[in-house]
Every structure is written in C-alpha cells, then in structure tokens.
C-alpha cells in the first residue's frame, strides 16, 4: 500500500477507545488477548486505506500535473507529496469533508460491533460451554477474523470468526436464526433429505455456530458418488422450499459432505422481482443458468469455484509509489472456494456425476409428490411446537448493487456532490419498477443504510405477507401471499411434468459446466 497512507495518529484514538471498552472484560468470564486489538486495528486500517485511495490518487496526480512535487524520480515525487501534505489524512479531509464523516461512521460502528460481540460472548459463556464441548477448555479470546465475503448490515454488524486459546473457532452472526431449526426438524421427520446441520446456539438477536473448516478431499469413488447423491437431494429440497442465494460462498464441503453455511434465504419470495413463478431450479443459485448472461456458473453452489472469480469492486493500485498512481477495480477475488470436492488431488466435476445428482433429486421429488401434505404439516407442527415466528431473509436486489453504490461513495466526484444520495435513490427506484408508497419507503431505508456503509437487510415472517427491514420498519402486505402459502401452491403443482422440466434444466446446466 502507499507510503504513510493512514497515519498512526488517526487510529490511535480508536485504539484507545477500544482498549477502554475492553477494560470491562478484565473482571468477567471472557479474557481478551491484546492480539485481538491488533486484529481489529488491522481490519479498520485496511478498510480505511481502500476508502481514501481514490481521493489520494487523484490529488497526487493533480499535484504532478501542476508541477508541485519535488524529486528526480516518480517515487521521489510520490514521497514528496506526503512530506508536503503531512498529515495526509487531514489534507485529504480538507479537500473532501464527507470522507472524514465516512471514516468516523465506519470506525465507530465497527468498534461498537466488535464490542457488542464480546459482551454477548461474556454473557453467554456458560451456555456456549454447554453447547460446544470443545469450548470447555477455552480460557481466552486470542484472535478475530472477518470473512472476505462478509457483509456489513445495520449498525455495522457483521459475521466474525472467533479464535480461542485452545484452537477452538466459533462463528458469531449478528442475526438470529430459526430456519435452521425448521430444516433440522424436516430432516429428522422426512428421513430422506440430506441438509447437514451445523451445531449452533441461537439467541434473540444473534447466534453462534460451530466453525467448519474446508475438508473437501475424499479417497474413494464411492464417497464421490455419495457426495453428488446428497447434492441432488439438497438441490430438490432447496427448489421446493424456494431457497435462493446458495452460491459457492454459502457452500462448504467438510468430511465429504455438503453444508449450507447460511440457511436464512429459504422460503424466499420472488414475486417482487418480476418473476411470475417459482418453478425454476436456477433460482436456488446452486446451478449455473445457461441463459443467464451474468455467468452465474462462476459462482453457483455446485459448479462455481474451479476458476478464480473476477471482482469489480475491490480497489487495487497500479504504479505503486509513483506520482502516476492509479486505482483500478478489476481484479481477482482473494476468496478461497470451499464448495467443490476432490478425489485425492483431482477436482471432480459435477457434469461427470449427472446420474447421481438426478437420482438424489428424484428421490426427494417423488416422495414429496406422492406425499404433498407432509411438508406443510411438518412446518405447521414445528411452528406450533417452537411457539416462535419463523423469519426468512428477503433479498430485494443483488448485494452487488448495494456494494457498488457503497464503493461509489468514495469516488472524489461523488464525495463533493451534495445531491449524490438523490442519484442513488433514483437508480434504486428504477430497479424495483414500482413507485408506490411502500417502494418509496423501502428505497429511503436502502439509501440511509448505504450512506452508513451497510448492506440493507430485509426479512419476513414466513406465515405473513409483511416485509420488515433491519430498523424494524414494517411494509404491510408487501407480498400478495405469505411464504407458506407460496409453498402450499408449489406443493400442489409438483408433478411428473414439472419434475422432467427441472431435470432437463439440471442436465443442460451440468453439461455446459
């Protein structure tokens, strides 16, 4: 990264603030090593560098074109810019006041997010030890990781991977989950589906789950066949339960079995996306849609991961330490795929196991086709038994759209544009193709979250037609039917004709991978 990009003085106040907060834990269950503070500081520093880069690069080039920099070489002149404008953050902030505000929004919300997590762990210490046996030997928190593909949501909350002194790892997610419990209940009662359950502890506003490491090498052809048979079963159940967002980031192979890392997008509504029906297996994102020009195959749950994924939103530098520095955004993601299986050291392609995938799909489909009432009965029984509302996330639009607008906030021309938020609002309204009061209210919330550097988050109670956002706003009767009613409709239409149509799509997709 550039020379003296973020002065230590800028981060010092935030480090002191975090240390002051962590003093609380000295007399509690949770002991926090100083390495955790370094992890937090390192993460904040890396993100702030990304934020300041576009403005910094522009100002260096402006100074070069005005012949304001001294030095014989491009590197000398680059360094001279920092000497002349020390401290560089204050110089950049004087040119782009909004950038300072964005820095403070990010750092304050991030520190609060980490602190809230630590506070929750401390309060739940005994429960965590009881739920996760390997946790019993843990005495202190010694590290925190932020997943490369993790999103920030309301108040900067995000998924954290917690490392303890005994090597145990726990995933902290700042949202509750009860869809997992339902899927586990369906699994046990059907006795046919193969959605593997990850051990978790669910709380009112967050949950913990066991960290699964990638373990995707098997040693026999039999294990490969079992893997793809399971893939077919998951594909069918995901299709029937209107799941989406099951892309490669959301799938992990552990000990030869497929695990879905986040089940929050089962019972999804597609009606607001101008998709008239839900009888399309491609909506799960487990398969590549051959007609999709966005090349979903690069990220689909079963086919993605064989090649490095192209990222258009991660900034990187051309002409490092030069007065001709440039910021580009087309690079390869550093995310390491964990959704594919290997036989010893050979990657096994799903197209070579179409038979097993279709066998697994048919096994679940045929059973539910002949027992249409059983799925609805199981869901209603679970709701009555658990006495809780089942919340399912609703993805109103692609996360990449939100990420694009968040990144665009840091472009110099937008930082000094007082009306840029209105431009974002206008574009988001276009995307929904509807201008009624509910959509206006929804877009207002989206813009508000984007300006706070968060990905907007929506959810629904699967038994109701209302939509909710992360601030608790209710969009009454946003959907014509509840998610359960959509499922009832889908169950009615399970047929030999539909099964053949979905199998045809599976064959076509896998044949092209």
Q: Is residue 330 located within the same domain as residue 364? A: yes
Query: Tell me, what's the pLDDT at 485?
Result: 93
Does residue 146 sit within a domain? no
Does residue 257 sit within a domain? yes
Q: Is residue 299 located within the same domain as residue 329? A: yes
Query: Tell me, what's the pLDDT at 10?
Result: 53
Does residue 104 sit within a domain? yes
Q: How far apart are the first and last CA of the chain?
A: 37
Residues in CB range of 336: below 8 A, 6 or more apart = 214
| pLDDT tens profile 334-381 | 667 889 999 998 999 999 999 999 999 999 999 999 999 999 999 989
Q: CA 234 to CA 442: how far, in whole Å?
A: 33
| pLDDT tens profile 264-291 | 999 999 876 555 566 799 999 999 887 7
Q: Is residue 481 located within the same domain as residue 493? A: no
Question: Is pLDDT of 3 > 50?
Answer: no
Q: Is residue 470 located within the same domain as residue 421? A: yes
Q: Is residue 264 located within the same domain as residue 125? A: no
> What is the phi-psi region of residue 322: left when phi exceeds 0, alpha when psi lies from -120 to 50, beta otherwise?
beta
- The pLDDT confidence band at residue 2, using thresholds 50, 70 and 90, is very low
CATH no. for residue 367? 1.10.1070
Q: Is residue 371 located within the same domain as residue 271? A: yes
- The pLDDT confidence band at residue 310, using thresholds 50, 70 and 90, is low
Looking at 93, 108, 140, the residue that finishes a domain is: 140
Q: Is residue 326 located within the same domain as residue 244? A: yes
Query: Tell me, what's the pLDDT at 160?
Result: 96
Which whole-number Å values give the CA distances from 289 to 67, 85, 306, 503, 507, in the listed order? 53, 52, 17, 13, 11
| pLDDT tens profile 94-123 | 999 999 999 999 988 998 899 899 889 989
Contact 80, 321 (CB under 8 A): no
Half-sphere exposure of 123 (CA within 13 A, CB side): 10
Q: Is residue 88 located within the same domain as residue 233? A: no
Q: Is residue 62 located within the same domain as residue 117? A: yes
Does residue 184 sit within a domain? no
Residue 183 token pair: 């899927």
Which run of H or of E encompasses 467? Answer: strand 467-469
- Mean pLDDT within 228-241: 95
Which whole-number Å values give the CA distances from 314 to 5, 48, 414, in the listed order? 17, 13, 18
Domain extent for 357:
209-388+487-511
Does residue 180 sit within a domain? no
Q: Is residue 281 located within the same domain as residue 381? A: yes
Which residues, listed in sequence order, are joined to residue 468 by a DSSP beta bridge? 459, 474
- Evaluated on CA atoms 267, 272, 273, 275, the torsion sign reads positive
Mean residue pLDDT of the chain comes to 87
Looking at 140, 174, 189, the residue that finishes a domain is: 140
Does residue 200 sit within a domain? no
Q: Is residue 251 located within the same domain as residue 285? A: yes
Looking at the chain, the whole-number percentage of residues with pLDDT higher than 70 is: 88
Q: Is residue 80 located within the same domain as residue 110? A: yes
| pLDDT tens profile 413-458 | 999 999 999 999 999 988 776 667 888 899 999 999 999 999 999 9
- For 247-268, b where at least 16 C-beta lie within 10 A, e where not — what string? bbbbbbbeebbbbbbbbbbbbb
Which whole-number Å values give the CA distances from 17 to 12, 41, 110, 112, 224, in the listed order? 9, 11, 12, 10, 51
Does residue 324 sit within a domain? yes
Does residue 163 sit within a domain? no
Number of domains in the chain: 3
Q: Which of 259, 163, 267, 155 is nearest to 216 (CA)?
A: 259
């Amino acid at each position: 990264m550039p020379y003296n990009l973020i002065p230590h003085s800028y981060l010092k106040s935030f480090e002191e603030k975090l240390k002051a907060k962590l003093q609380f834990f000295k007399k509690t269950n949770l002991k926090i090593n100083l390495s955790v503070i370094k992890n937090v500081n390192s993460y904040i520093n890396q993100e702030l560098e990304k934020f300041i880069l576009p403005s910094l690069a522009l100002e260096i080039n402006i100074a070069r074109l005005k012949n304001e920099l001294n030095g014989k070489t491009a590197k000398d002149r680059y360094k001279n810019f920092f000497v002349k404008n020390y401290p560089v953050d204050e110089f950049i902030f004087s040119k782009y006041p909004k950038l300072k505000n964005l820095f403070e929004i990010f750092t304050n919300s991030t520190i609060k997010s980490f602190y809230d997590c630590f506070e929750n762990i401390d309060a739940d210490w005994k429960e965590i030890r009881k739920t996760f046996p390997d946790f019993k030997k843990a005495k202190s928190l010694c590290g925190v990781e932020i997943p490369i593909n993790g999103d920030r949501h309301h108040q900067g909350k995000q998924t954290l991977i917690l490392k303890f002194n005994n090597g145990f790892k726990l995933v902290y997610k700042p949202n509750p989950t009860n869809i997992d419990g339902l899927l586990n209940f369906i699994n046990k009662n059907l006795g046919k589906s193969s959605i593997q359950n990850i051990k978790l502890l669910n709380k009112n506003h967050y949950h913990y789950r066991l960290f699964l490491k990638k373990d995707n090498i098997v040693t026999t052809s039999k294990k490969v066949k079992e893997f793809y048979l399971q893939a077919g079963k998951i594909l069918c159940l995901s299709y029937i339960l209107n799941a989406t967002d099951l892309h490669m980031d959301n799938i992990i192979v552990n000990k030869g079995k497929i695990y879905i890392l986040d089940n929050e997008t089962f019972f999804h509504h597609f009606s607001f996306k101008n998709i008239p029906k839900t009888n399309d297996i491609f909506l799960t994102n487990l398969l590549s849609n051959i007609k999709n020009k966005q090349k979903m195959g690069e990220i689909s749950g079963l086919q993605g991961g064989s090649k490095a994924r192209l990222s258009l939103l991660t900034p990187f530098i051309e002409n490092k330490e030069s007065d001709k520095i440039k910021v580009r955004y087309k690079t390869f993601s550093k995310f390491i795929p964990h959704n594919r299986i290997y036989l010893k050291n050979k990657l096994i392609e799903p197209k070579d196991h179409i038979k097993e995938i279709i066998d697994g799909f048919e096994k679940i489909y045929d059973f539910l086709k002949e027992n249409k009432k059983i799925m609805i009965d199981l869901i209603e029984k679970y709701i009555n038994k658990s006495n809780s509302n089942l919340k399912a996330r609703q993805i109103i639009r692609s996360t990449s759209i939100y990420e694009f607008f968040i990144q665009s906030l840091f472009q110099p021309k937008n930082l000094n544009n007082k009306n840029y938020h209105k431009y974002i609002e206008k574009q988001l309204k276009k995307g929904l193709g509807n201008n009624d009061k509910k959509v206006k209210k929804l877009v207002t919330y989206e813009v508000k979250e984007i300006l706070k550097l968060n990905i907007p988050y929506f959810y629904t109670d699967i038994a109701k037609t209302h939509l909710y956002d992360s601030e608790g706003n209710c969009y009454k009767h946003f959907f014509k039917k509840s998610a359960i009613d959509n499922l009832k409709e889908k169950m009615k239409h399970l047929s030999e004709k539909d099964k053949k149509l979905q199998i045809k799509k599976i064959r076509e997709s896998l044949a092209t991978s």
